[in-house]
Amino acid sequence: MRIDVVTIFPGYFEAPLATSMLARAASKGLVEFHVHDLRAFAADRHRTVDDSPFGGGGGMVLKPEPVAAAWEALDLGRGHGIYLTADGRRLDQQTAARLSLQPHLVLLCGHYKGLDERVRRRVADEEISIGDYVLTGGEPAAAVLIDAVTRLVPGVLGNFSSALEDSFHDDLLDCPWYTRPAEYAGEEVPPGLLGGDHEQVQAWRRRQALRRTFERRPDLLETAQLDESERELIDAWSRGSVNE
């Protein structure tokens, strides 16, 4: 997979792309990252990329021509264009999985009040938000998207972890995890994890994942794949007739 990023802050991406799993994926040749400075495609000697909005009001809007020039010069139109914006469709695991199948993503980071609407429609195949909060620009959202998508590219995850075992793979939150020591600060590790009975461990983890999802993200239970006994357990929790 190839990922191009177009931004007025290319330096923002240095540490995330040079760290841990993303750096390893790039050094293994599984993914290529190319970060481009939008200002390099400005037409004037001041490298202007923004201007005031028609109709007045505060703030600035990213001009269309530097974006169009970057797309032309870098031949980005063949990739799948994504504009990171608070009014985009919310990023979720299903979207990350779908994007991980694309051979070429092009991420465009907005700034100020955003991008002129006309070039936005021309370069963006889709518009994505990472959540309902305001950012100063699209860079943090692009870094999040790169992480979520890249780890799903075949070969990127080691066998220490598998995308199939992720929290959210089955629409539930993760269970609690424990490591040594078996007693810490007066608290024992739950006995269900200690007997070496793998079936028992799997049952304990599943129930804990259900419980945690019930408590923190009940909305996820609407669409989760649950069997009849799991539905009954959740109904019992809802009635308050079982505690854990």
Based on CB atoms, which residue is closest to ligand JA5, 89 or 98?
89
- Contact partners, residue 174, CB within 8 Å, separation at least 6: 166, 167, 209, 212
Based on CB atoms, which residue is closest to ligand JA5, 50 or 208?
50
Based on CB atoms, which residue is closest to ligand JA5, 17 or 124?
124
Based on CB atoms, which residue is closest to ligand JA5, 5 or 130?
130
Q: Which of residues 115-144 bind ligand JA5 (CB under 6 A)?
A: 129-131, 134-135, 137-138, 141
CB of 215 to ligand JA5, least distance (A): 26
60's tokens? 């600035």
Q: Which of residues 80-119 bind ligand JA5 (CB under 6 A)?
A: 84-86, 110-112, 114
CB of 138 to ligand JA5, least distance (A): 4
CB of 61 to ligand JA5, least distance (A): 9
Residue whose structure tokens are 């539905």: 231
- Of 17, 153, 139, 10, residue with least CA distance to 83: 139
Position of minimal CB gap to ligand JA5: 110
Q: Which of residues 142-201 bind ligand JA5 (CB under 6 A)?
A: none
188's tokens? 């024992």
Task: Kindly give the interhelix angle for 228-239 and 198-216, rounded to the nearest 10 degrees.
Answer: 50
Based on CB atoms, which residue is closest to ligand JA5, 122 or 206?
122
Parallel, antiparallel or unpaired: strands 183-184 and 187-188: antiparallel
- Contact partners, residue 204, CB within 8 Å, separation at least 6: 175, 190, 192, 193
With contacts defined by CB under 6 A, how many residues of the chain interact with ligand JA5? 15
- In the chain the beta strands, taken as DSSP E runs, fall at 2-7, 32-37, 50-51, 61-62, 80-90, 104-109, 126-129, 183-184, 187-188
**Binding status of residue 59 toward ligand JA5 by CB under 6 A:** no
Binding residues (CB under 6 A) for ligand JA5: these are 84-86, 110-112, 114, 129-131, 134-135, 137-138, 141
